[in-house]
Structure 1
Amino acid sequence: MKILVTGAAGFIGFHVAKILSEEGHRVIGLDNVNDYYDVNLKYGRLEKLGVSRTNAEQYGLTTTSSLFPDLSFIRISLEDRVQLECIFEKEKFDVVCHLAAQAGVRYSLENPHAYIQSNIEGFMNILECCRYHQISHLVYASSSSVYGLNKKIPFESSDRTDRPASLYAATKKSNELMAHTYSHLFGLPSTGLRFFTVYGPWGRPDMALFIFTKAILSGKPIEVFNLGEMARDFTYIDDICEGVIKILKDPLQKRKENGELYKIYNIGNSRPVKLMDFIQAIERALEMEASKELMPMQPGDVQATWANVDHLIRDYGYQPHTPIQVGVQRFIEWYKSYYRI
């Protein structure tokens, strides 16, 4: 297939683009490489895809990978509607894997406009391009944050999601509603994936695993919010990619026959881990003990997440299998190698 992967310099997008390329698909990766976090990490991911930083820094330039002859990268912003339409017109994609977004719950309190521009306007442009260029399937990233103040766990895809606790969550719920509208009005097959706390090598520096590891190695205390009384459905990157790619490959025949053009799935580990147990796994992998500062809950945060993935298991045979100890150990090994510790 010929597949567009947005957010190709991002954590999940990089891994998905790499696996698809290794499988022999034609992949076009897009990313604006913004400075929300260290751009060196983003360019490092692109270099692993065979895209040099010199070329990747040039806006609008199409660069063919030196490692994967069927992978190309273009640096553009999804808000650039004219440029995006030109890419769709030229490349004639089969499917779109939309993973680009302004990420981060806490940052949405500081810079809300970035979320509207990227997550709403950018997603709108993706939908319009899919509509007018006969895209057979749009797979896009939603988030577990849409469950917001929902107290019922595990979270099920049918649960109410109308009480977001952050603007980031509100934009992700908006994406789901927008996709539903395009599926209903224009027959665009779409699948939204509610990701649950993805972690692993090449992960984001604003996520807990990265923050805790850096602090512990630097001899600094880590901030443990809600006095440690939190739990997250941590999901290893390989398990996430397995689910995403299975869905991308689906010809959707059964769904089309049943009139199910629009679907939402939880994609997580379905095994929530207590925050203190997560920290303990990091300490064991580092063979160092963390100094902990117990803090109150942060604005926009929730106490627990837990994914019910029964529908994904039923429809795609999705089965996450990476234990937290194994996933954390792999991240620590990558972190030490990347930062030469």
Structure 2
Amino acid sequence: MADLALSVLDLAPVRTGETHADSFAASVRLARLAEARGYRRVWYAEHHNMARIASSATSVLIAHIANHTSTIRLGAGGVMLPNHSPLVIAEQFGTLASLHPGRIDLGLGRAPGSDRATMYAMRRDATSSDSFPQDVLELQAYLGDETRVPGVHAYPGRNTNVPLYILGSSLYGAQLAAALGLPYAFASHFAPAALQQAVALYRREFRPSAQLDAPYVIAGFNVIAADDRADAEQQFQQAKRSRVRAFARPGVRLSDDEADAVLDSPEGRQIAGMMQYSAVGRPHEVRDELEQFAKHADADEVIVAFQSPGADDRLRSAELLAEVALAG
């Protein structure tokens, strides 16, 4: 796997009985391990109104992790740009880049990262995503030495040239990333359907840019590695139950048996299918499946979402994968 970069997507999960502070402490531990073991970067995703995800204030979390690490790249995977003004995001990530030079990435998505009611609470218009391409260009200009709004510059931000990445799970993001000459990250860890078609389109239509002279693909992949395969499979079942519970109506609490019954239904199998691209088992088994996935996805880099329910088990997964995939 010498030519394949491995990175980490930290979903900053909050388990039942834990606090957000517990989640942040676990994220620090994971980033430190990733830095020590040779992972390329750690990204955090913007979500809102989700009690079990703690990364809503994405730039603040990145700043916290950066203060507890030294060299590893950190970034958003991603910021949902229609929720924000490009100027404010340029200022936030320009600040991060000024404090931690050469370490900050900015992945951009156009989904809300929330439900309709939360969109309203964020004062976001339902049509905000229509201007996503223009907003990306406006943001890119703020981070360089130009501006698309006469007389307005990002301070901090100007001339930091924070690298941009386009995130997506459809052909739309692939087309935009190709047209702008930006790296493309596909969310195959939860939206697998269009992976190969989107990557092929991106590579075919890519136009070189000042940031990037050749296509670069990052693909998301779920991993649970354990010393014992049965343990890994049990953790994966718990992860699928958690996914079902996340889709349950507010106030509905499902027991393990009830969640398993949902997983056996057509709707539940569809939810479980969101985790199609997953490797579960002992370290060498996981490494082999990850290598096969990278070829299947035609990816230059795989960003791994460690899906073990507990923080200690996620760290163990990251450690075991590093031992077989990043050694040397």
TM over 0.5: no
TM-score normalized by the length of structure 1: 0.38
